[in-house]
Structure 1
Amino acid sequence: MSDIRITKVTANIGARVSGVDISRPLDEESVAAVREALNVHKALVFDDVNLDDEGHQAFVRHFGDLTTAHPTVGAVEGSPNVLPVDSERGRANHWHTDVTFVLNPPQATTLRSITVPPYGGETLIASSAAAYRDLPEPLRRLADGLWAEHTNDYDYAVPNEAFDEEQAAQRAQFTSIKYRTAHPVVRVHPLTGERGLFIGGFAQRIVGLSVGESRKILDLLQSYVIRPENVLRHHWSPNQLVIFDNRITQHYAVDNYDGQPRRLHRVTLAGDVPVGVDGGRSRSVEGDAAHYTPVAAAVPAAAAREAATVAA
């Protein structure tokens, strides 16, 4: 195994990984060490990576099956599993967890820097596990029993002002297949057993409540996710790769670079169906995402308990 070193970045989220060349095939011990670090720190930063799209995908495949680029948005030409996150195609300056409008959202997201603006363009990544721990006990009890409906029936990457023709076309593509899925507001992580707030920008309504009532509750819970203490502010440099656990984080791309070019490439890992505190599993209301992602195998209870012990 390589001499992998994990350097913590903040108290609640984030670590830098060094001592491993992720452009080469990893042995089982190295894969386990990176997975354990992701369980503990939720987001990992690799500097000076020597990767193209093929190498990026090969690294991610160490941890499971890949999704295609996106359920409705086009991939990088010739690479159906790679999504271009390009400022020219819109800006995701909205807190969200990737693709939560499908039944089994990605378990993890990786982003690789292609073009970095000379200033700005950071990615904020928040720990929803730390947010859940911060909740007062009455709010925890409330959140534990709630379910939220997530949908893609709007485009988080398009600003809220009136759409121009290009933005209207982007929105039409993003919603070309309508998805609605009911997820637990508190998700139990399948490996660590941690509880995290599973909400974000695609969560539009609490099941059983009106839109107005839902918004108040979602905004209250979201305020704990985005507390500065729970957020890693990642400043991009050339040739970096960041991986974050999509099951227990949210992220936000900061639009503060004066419209200069900014491009990342995204590869995501197929995920499992979320499970709530009571053992209930998410359910699809509308839309079939079978073309986008396989369902990751459920983790046996004994393995989950073992992983939770390692991560503790």
Structure 2
Amino acid sequence: MSLHSFDSLDIQKVTANIGARVSGIDISEPLAEEQVAALREALNVHKALVFDDVHLDDAGHQAFARHFGDITTAHPTVSAVDGAANVLPVDSERGRANHWHTDVTFVLNPPQATTLRSITIPPYGGETLIASSAAAYRDLPEPLRQLADTLWAEHTNDYDYAVPDEEIDEEKAEQRAEFTSITYRTAHPVVRVHPLTGERGLFIGGFAQRIVGLSVGESRKILDLLQSYVTRPENILRWRWSPNQLVVFDNRITQHYAIDNYDGLPRRLHRVTVAGDVPVGIEGKESYSIEGDASHYTTVATPVAA
């Protein structure tokens, strides 16, 4: 399938449910309005876009991300790349995000989009999995869908990550202390309505720790059941990184997972995220903050159609 939305711009699907490869555009140059609109539309359709042969520094990376909206600072609690307050180093030496999650869902308005650029790639392994939570929602049997439609989940950055104490060394303890230096708790609808497409997606992932109104144990069973639909192989793009690549994915309707399968070799990406809107459930009710102020991290975006 090829969508020719603007002259030489070519968009090729990678899998049936998620992902497309974009060519015929130089994202290191300022983009025309028509190109930006075409990329936004492609992101709405494919959820994740891959750009090859990208030659960007941190400034150029940020300039590209701004085509999708205002950018956030690097992270609510984790330190940025030196000299680039809006760029987060995703570095194997600073910890590994090998759990399924949607970025920063513990704040009231998580990023609408995440951009990742390859800096140092191991010779094998280190893939990023990106899953379509819209496909997951469509896969739900009707009784489960009706249940999910009614649920809200509490997301937080302050939990144990299921790491046994004996595996936490001093360095990991310091990383965790930084990550949880401000505690955030936010309630989001389990089924989020995408503000541009109207699609419904399961808005859960690793920071969703309990279902509002249920015990932790009950919550875990339901969240695990719903999560099993997100992580079906048919709903996943498994991206093997190459040098000079950039991937952008719609953080409102995807989850991702960085696979720790590269024997501790160096792996580094740079991440820039685009400020998002406050999630809305199927009844039109917005997410609400329970604890933690993220105004230093992100503005609140107003969705604008492509």
Same fold (TM over 0.5): yes
Aligned to 1:281: 286
- Following superposition, the deviation at residue 155 of structure 1 comes to 6.7
- Report Cα offsets for 1:191-242 as digits up to 9, x if no partner: 0000000000000000000000000000000000000000000000000000
CA–CA distance in 2 between the matches of 1:225 and 1:93? 16
Answer yes or no: is 1:166 the counterpart of 2:164: no
What secondary structure does 2:68 align onto? coil
- Following superposition, the deviation at residue 154 of structure 1 comes to 3.1
CA–CA distance in 2 between the matches of 1:220 and 1:77? 41
CA–CA distance in 1 between the matches of 2:52 and 2:163? 31
Is there any run of 5+ residues in structure 1 with no aligned partner, and where?
308-312
- Report Cα offsets for 1:49-94 as digits up to 9, x if no partner: 0100000000011110000000000000000000000000000000
TM-score, scaled relative to structure 2 = 0.96
Structure 1 contact 155–171 (Cα < 8 Å) conserved: no
What secondary structure does 1:84 align onto? strand
Give the letter aligned to residue 132 of structure 1.
Answer: Y
What secondary structure does 2:129 align onto? strand
1:74 to 71, 79, 102: 79
Pairing 1:107-146 to 2, within 5 Å after superposition: 107-146=112-151
Q: Which runs of 4+ in 1 moved over 2 A?
A: 158-162
Aligned to 1:18: 23
- Following superposition, the deviation at residue 95 of structure 1 comes to 0.2
Give the letter aligned to residue 207 of structure 1.
Answer: V
Structure 2 contact 196–303 (Cα < 8 Å) conserved: no
Structure 1 contact 2–20 (Cα < 8 Å) conserved: no
- Report Cα offsets for 1:127-176 as digits up to 9, x if no partner: 000000000001110000100000000375x9545311111111111000
- Report Cα offsets for 1:238-282 as digits up to 9, x if no partner: 000000000000000000000000000000000000000010000
Structure 1 contact 111–242 (Cα < 8 Å) conserved: yes
2:48 to 31, 43, 52: 43
CA–CA distance in 2 between the matches of 1:237 and 1:185? 34
Give the letter aligned to residue 215 of structure 1.
Answer: R
Structure 1 contact 273–282 (Cα < 8 Å) conserved: yes
CA–CA distance in 2 between the matches of 1:66 and 1:159? 32
Give the letter aligned to residue 231 of structure 1.
Answer: I
Aligned to 1:310: none
Aligned to 1:253: 258
Aligned to 1:234: 239
Alignment size in residue pairs: 300
CA–CA distance in 2 between the matches of 1:63 and 1:122? 25
Aligned-CA RMSD value: 1.2
CA–CA distance in 2 between the matches of 1:207 and 1:37? 34
CA–CA distance in 2 between the matches of 1:79 and 1:43? 25
- Following superposition, the deviation at residue 2 of structure 1 comes to 4.7
What secondary structure does 1:62 align onto? helix
What secondary structure does 1:149 align onto? strand
Q: Give % identity.
A: 83
